[in-house]
């Protein structure tokens, strides 16, 4: 029970949908290395895929009992709590769902990680608010931070299966009950996805993908969904409020109810929970339970289960004694006998086992073998026979499981024949052999067999997904009418993957994005009727696409800026909106594409709000310096001389000729110049600019916003990263120099180099290498030198003093700039 801590420990506590896991992933990715322990293999795999997308496959490891992806250069580790290599030195460590330390079957693992797993620089403990008093007592140096739920969770009462709203998850507590509910939904609602903890990640992801894509509106699951699996669920219905916990059938605890009900609602969207059927008998929440779940008030935990995480391995008896040791900390209780300890006890009674474990190395090997999970739930006696056979091989000869036995067992499982239950049982068995294959020293060629078991599990997983879909999703359409009748609603309408819309197998048009066009070869006699049928039936598909768009991640949206065309926002390859001039350069307004006029008001509002958030977020991210500049220009606390400089600079997009601001610059005092520097502004010899605004993406967005404000098409812009372009100049970001134009920040670099090289007003020869490296020609360089105040002197240059600007942009009388200029002139 070591409380040794090498880093600050932060406990992030709160109900579901508070972003705790998301925060931990962000924090981990901000460190040079890190590790997170999760309660489920499914959740570890889900986060692994997210981190791979950020860091790359070669940098990220996945370690679970039956799956190990461990690249040589791995720095970020996503693991199940049991598989965390806590002896590995990493900068960041987090433990998810730490309140599971109170779980009788697995609690000792989470308690051990809570007490011992530490990152070199930062450690995070994620869990329920009920964990707070135990954190304070067991990890007194931890900083505790509470997080509120993003959305409201409210009780919706009991609902019959036929009355459940779309996007509902029904939670049952046995495979038989899950299958029964899913079968009823197939008959009444057209189908449901099925999610259970026993499913492989591949099967689970395929089932969830159906639900997320709207192919089915209902999901039936076990309480596995309570452990942080992210799905777009609006309502959670409990098919029961009691479960068998491995020892007895009992009512769910309040914390378990809240953990499951909390899956309803996502991010800012509210959610509801209730029961299935009438509120009577054993499936009714009490008023106190409802109130506490809605208000996220749960009784604090008063203990966690503990078992020695570093048991004495010097002998078999010492190991068993260490595992039976009771904790000395009053808040910790001895863990009930787990399967691994039960198996160890049974094997310890075998004389041949005691004969083989006389050395600590073999004690360690026996204990590792006892850690083989009972995936098939066969019980300690039956499972001990399998573990005993494994250990017999590990303790003799080369210490490897025989290839012939392993290969025969895998071959026996390599068949996709059978029903759902048979395939699920084979996957559980495959997980056993996958666990063995991922022990580096249990097989002669572990990498080969790990790949083999993975292939078999994926094959079985795909077959199970197909069987679940076939069994619980009704894909049959209504019987097609032989002749087109007068009732268009009775005609079956199908939309192919390529967008082709068909009625009675006759193509009548195409749906591209949100835009429907009638096929040009449609018969004139049927054209209007077929169009009416299609448009009437497209509502559901358009609404589905609207939901996808409203829920689209930022990466799915793009601002398209093609020369000669208006800037537009694109989703899934289709234009969905065009920005238009708004109240300021940085606040354009959006006009949805006309194709979205077919959506109903609520869907249009949701799409519009999502696109508004995305556009504002991208502007703030890409043009952050310009946003700060604009805010400072409008802030009354900013000194007037500095505001007089910032206002026209911000209006110009963050880059402007110095000549246009000579008056404002002349009035700028030392404090004002210091304020400008704090904002990152460069007051150059010829231009004022912010260097970050000259990065390719910032230049593209500034050009787009300028075109939007002018209600014009995009101009021809310089290639990304270009230093020199052929005249004419593509905007204020480049300085015209005859037949060439040079980016203004590089103009300043040359200016500084020239001034650093000169000696007063004596002639000098500047080093041409800088200009040459930029691609600037001799004629253009000569023009630039003259603009910078130099004159040719034989074969050299001589500084004659800074050239005063030829023209100064006139300030329109009565404008805000004129008022600012008046304030500066009067010293205010």
Residue 90, pLDDT > 70, answer yes
Looking at every residue in the chain, the average pLDDT score rounds to 85
- Answer yes or no: is pLDDT of 97 > 50: yes
Identify the burial level of 826 via C-beta atoms within 10 angstroms of its C-beta, where 0-12 means exposed, 13-18 middle and 19 or more buried.
Answer: exposed
- CA dist 215 and 229 (Å) reads 19
For position 517, what pLDDT does the model report?
A: 76
Spatial separation of the C-alpha atoms in residues 231 and 219, rounded to whole Å: 10
As a whole-number percent, the residues of the chain with pLDDT over 70 amount to: 89
Q: Does domain 9-146 have CATH number 3.40.190.10?
A: no
441-476 pLDDT tens trace = 899 998 899 899 989 999 999 999 888 888 888 643
Which pLDDT score is estimated for 666?
87
pLDDT at position 599: 86
Q: Tell me how long the chain is.
A: 828
pLDDT of residue 534: 63
Q: Is the dihedral of CA 47, 51, 53, 57 positive or negative?
A: negative
The pLDDT value recorded for residue 548 is: 92
Q: Following DSSP, what letter does each residue of 170-207 receive, concatenated?
A: EE-SSHHHHHHHHHHHHHHHSB-EEE-TTS-HHHHHHH
Strands (E), 598-637: none
331 neighbors 325 (Cβ within 8 angstroms): no
**In 3D, which of 222, 286, 223 has the Cα closest to residue 254?**
286
Pairing status of strand 574-584 against strand 568-571: antiparallel
Residue 259 pLDDT grade (very low, low, confident, very high; cuts 50, 70, 90): confident
| Residue-level pLDDT at 809 | 45
* Separation of alpha carbons 365 and 117, rounded Å: 23
What integer pLDDT is reported at residue 808 of this predicted model? 39
Residue 376 pLDDT greater than 90, yes or no: no
Alpha-carbon torsion 588, 594, 595, 601, what sign? positive
For residue 431, CA distances in Å to 420, 428, 454, 525 come to 17, 5, 9, 61
CA distance 481 to 719: 57
pLDDT in tens, 64-89: 987 889 999 999 999 999 999 999 99
Question: Quick one: the chain helix, strand, coil %, rounded to 5?
Answer: 45, 20, 35
Residue 132 phi/psi, 5° resolution? -55, -50
Measured between alpha carbons, how far is 523 from 537 in angstroms, rounded to an integer? Answer: 20
Question: Closest by alpha carbon to 327, among 134, 131, 112?
Answer: 112
**Token code pair at residue 707:** 């075109």
Considering only residues 286 and 17, tell me which one the structure prediction assigns the higher pLDDT.
Answer: 286
Model confidence over 493-515: pLDDT tens digits? 777 877 777 765 667 778 888 88
pLDDT value of position 42: 80
Helix (H, G, I), strand (E, B) or coil at 568: strand
- Crossing angle (nearest 10°) for helices 20-29 and 41-55: 40
pLDDT surpasses 70 at 492: no
- Among 686, 673, 658, 660, which residue's Cα sits nearest to residue 754? 686
Rounded to whole angstroms, the Cα distance separating 747 from 744 reads: 5
Pick from 80-84, 433-437, 476-480: least confident? 476-480
Stronger pLDDT, 499 or 562, i.e. the higher one: 562
Residue 520 or residue 747, greater confidence: 747
Closest-CA residue to 161 (of 183, 176, 145): 183
Pair 615, 579: CB distance under 8 Å: yes
> Rounded distance, CA 405 to CA 442, Å?
13
**Over residues 295-315, mean pLDDT:** 91
Do the two domains 9-146 and 153-295 of this chain adopt the same fold?
A: yes
Strands 681-683, 687-690: pairing kind: antiparallel
Q: How confident is the model at residue 730 (pLDDT cuts 50, 70, 90)?
A: low
Read off the pLDDT of residues 779-810 as tens digits, 9 standing for 90 and up. 888 898 889 888 888 888 888 876 554 443 44
Sheet holding 515-518, edge to edge: 493-495, 500-503, 506-512, 515-518
Task: Give the list of residues 6+ apart from residue 653 with CB closer than 8 angstroms, or none.
Answer: 585, 626, 693, 702, 705, 706, 732
Question: 640, 798 in Cβ contact below 8 A?
Answer: no
* 319-344 average pLDDT score: 93
Confidence band, pLDDT 50/70/90 cuts, at residue 339:
very high
And the tokens for 111?
């308690």
User: Could you tell me the pTM of the whole model?
Assistant: 0.56
Q: How confident is the model at residue 816 (pLDDT cuts 50, 70, 90)?
A: low
Q: Residue 476 has what pLDDT?
A: 34
Give residue 729's pLDDT band: very low, low, confident or very high (50, 70, 90). Answer: low
pLDDT of res. 475? 43
Burial 695-721 (b: 16+ CB within 10 A, else e): eeebbbbbbbbbbbbeeeebeebbeee
> Of the given ranges (219-228, 389-398, 422-431, 734-743), which has the lowest mean pLDDT?
219-228
| Segment 734-743 mean pLDDT | 89
| CA-based torsion, 595, 598, 601, 607: positive or negative | negative
Residue ranges per structural domain of the chain: 9-146, 153-295, 304-472, 488-546
Cβ-proximal residues to 172 (8 Å cutoff; 6+ apart), any chain: 178, 180, 181, 220, 221, 222, 239, 240
Mean pLDDT of 735-740: 88
Give the rounded percent of residues in the chain with a pLDDT score beyond 90. 47
- Domain 153-295: top CATH class: alpha beta
Whether pLDDT at 279 is above 90: no
Read off the pLDDT of each residue in 226-254 and give the average, rounded to a whole number. 81
Determine which helix (DSSP H) or strand (DSSP E) holds 790, and give its type and residue range.
Answer: strand 790-793
Across 582-599, average pLDDT = 90
Beta pairing, strands 724-726 & 740-743: antiparallel
- In which element (H, E) is residue 581 found? strand 574-584
| Cα–Cα–Cα angle for 241, 243, 249, rounded to 5 degrees | 115
Q: Angle at the Cα of 372 (from 368 to 375), degrees rounded to 5? A: 170
More confident residue, 141 or 802: 141
CA-angle at 727, arms to 724 and 730, nearest 5°: 80
Q: What is the pLDDT of residue 763?
A: 84
User: Residue 475 has which token pair?
Assistant: 């894909």
Pairwise CA distance, residues 110 & 108, whole Å: 6
Please report where in the chains the tokens 């097989």 appear, as a residue: 443
Q: Which pLDDT score is estimated for 224?
A: 73
Q: Return the higher-pLDDT residue of 618 and 810.
A: 618
pLDDT of residue 491: 54
């Amino acid at each position: 029970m070591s409380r040794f801590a090498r880093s600050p420990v932060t406990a992030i506590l709160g109900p579901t949908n508070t972003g705790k896991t998301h925060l931990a992933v962000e924090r981990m990715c901000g460190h040079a290395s890190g590790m997170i322990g999760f309660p489920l293999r499914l959740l570890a795999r889900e986060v692994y895929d997210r981190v791979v997308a950020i860091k790359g496959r070669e940098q990220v490891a996945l370690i679970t009992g039956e799956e190990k992806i461990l690249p040589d250069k791995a720095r970020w580790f996503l693991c199940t709590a049991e598989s965390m290599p806590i002896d590995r030195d990493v900068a960041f460590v987090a433990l998810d769902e730490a309140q599971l330390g109170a779980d009788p079957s697995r609690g000792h693992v989470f308690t051990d990680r809570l007490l011992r797993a530490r990152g070199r620089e930062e450690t995070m403990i994620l869990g329920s608010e009920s964990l707070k008093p135990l954190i304070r007592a067991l990890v007194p140096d931890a900083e505790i931070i509470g997080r509120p739920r993003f959305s409201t969770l409210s009780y919706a009462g009991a609902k019959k299966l036929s009355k459940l709203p779309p996007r509902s998850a029904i939670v049952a507590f046995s495979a038989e009950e899950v299958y029964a509910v899913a079968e009823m939904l197939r008959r009444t609602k057209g189908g449901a996805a099925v999610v259970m903890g026993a499913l492989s990640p591949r099967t689970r992801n395929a089932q969830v993908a159906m639900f997320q894509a709207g192919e089915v509106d209902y999901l039936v699951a076990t309480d596995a969904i309570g452990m942080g699996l992210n799905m777009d669920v609006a309502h959670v219905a409990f098919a029961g409020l009691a479960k068998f916990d491995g020892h007895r059938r009992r009512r769910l605890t309040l914390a378990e109810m809240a953990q499951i009900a909390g899956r309803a609602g996502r991010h800012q969207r509210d959610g509801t929970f209730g029961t299935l059927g009438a509120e009577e008998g054993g499936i009714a929440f009490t008023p106190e339970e409802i109130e506490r779940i809605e208000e996220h008030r749960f009784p604090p935990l008063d203990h966690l289960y503990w078992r020695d995480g570093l048991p004495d391995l010097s002998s078999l008896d010492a190991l068993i004694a260490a595992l039976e040791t009771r904790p000395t900390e009053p808040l910790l209780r001895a863990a009930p006998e787990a399967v691994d300890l039960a198996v160890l006890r049974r094997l310890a009674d075998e004389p041949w086992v005691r004969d083989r474990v006389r050395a600590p190395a073999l004690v360690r090997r026996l204990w590792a073998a006892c850690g083989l999970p009972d995936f098939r739930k066969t019980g300690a006696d039956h499972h001990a026979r399998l573990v005993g056979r494994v250990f017999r091989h590990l303790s003799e000869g080369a210490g490897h499981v025989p290839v012939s036995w392993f290969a025969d067992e895998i071959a026996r499982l390599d068949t996709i024949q059978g029903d759902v239950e048979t395939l699920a049982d084979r996957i559980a068995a495959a997980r056993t052999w996958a666990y063995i294959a991922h022990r580096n020293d249990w097989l002669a060629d572990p990498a080969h067999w790990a790949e083999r078991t993975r292939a078999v599990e994926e094959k079985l997983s795909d077959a199970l997904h197909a069987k679940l879909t076939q069994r619980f999703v009704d894909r049959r359409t209504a019987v097609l009418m032989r002749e087109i009748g007068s009732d268009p609603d009775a005609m079956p309408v199908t939309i192919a993957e390529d967008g082709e819309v068909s009625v009675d197998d006759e193509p009548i048009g195409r749906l591209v994005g949100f835009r429907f066009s009638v096929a040009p070869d449609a018969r004139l006699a049927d054209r209007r009727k077929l169009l009416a049928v299609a448009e009437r039936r497209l509502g559901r598909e358009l609404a589905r696409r609207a939901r996808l768009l409203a829920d689209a991640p930022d990466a799915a949206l793009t601002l398209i800026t093609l020369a000669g065309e208006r800037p537009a926002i694109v989703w899934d390859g289709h234009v969905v909106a065009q920005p238009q001039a708004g109240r300021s350069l940085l606040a354009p307004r959006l006009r949805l594409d006309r194709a979205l006029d077919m959506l109903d008001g609520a869907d249009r509002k949701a799409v519009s709000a999502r696109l508004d958030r995305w556009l504002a977020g991208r502007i703030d991210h890409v043009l952050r310096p310009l946003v700060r500049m604009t805010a400072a220009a409008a802030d009354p606390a900013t000194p007037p001389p500095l505001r007089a400089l910032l206002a026209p600079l911000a209006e110009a997009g963050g880059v402007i000729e110095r000549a246009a601001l000579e008056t404002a610059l002349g009035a700028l005092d030392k404090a004002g110049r210091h304020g400008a520097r704090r904002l990152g502004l460069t007051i150059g010899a010829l231009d004022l600019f912010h260097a970050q605004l000259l990065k390719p993406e910032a230049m593209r967005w500034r050009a787009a916003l300028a075109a939007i404000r002018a209600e014009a098409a995009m101009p021809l812009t310089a290639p990304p990263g270009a230093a020199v372009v052929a005249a004419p100049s593509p905007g204020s970001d480049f300085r015209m120099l005859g037949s060439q134009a040079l980016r203004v920040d590089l103009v300043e670099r040359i200016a500084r180099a020239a001034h650093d090289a000169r000696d007063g007003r004596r002639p000098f020869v500047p080093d041409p290498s800088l200009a040459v490296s930029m691609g600037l020609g001799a004629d253009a360089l000569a023009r630039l030198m003259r603009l910078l105040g130099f004159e040719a002197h034989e074969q050299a240059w001589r500084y004659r003093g800074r050239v005063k600007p030829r023209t100064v942009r006139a300030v329109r009388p009565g404008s805000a700039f004129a008022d600012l200029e008046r304030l500066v002139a009067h010293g205010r």
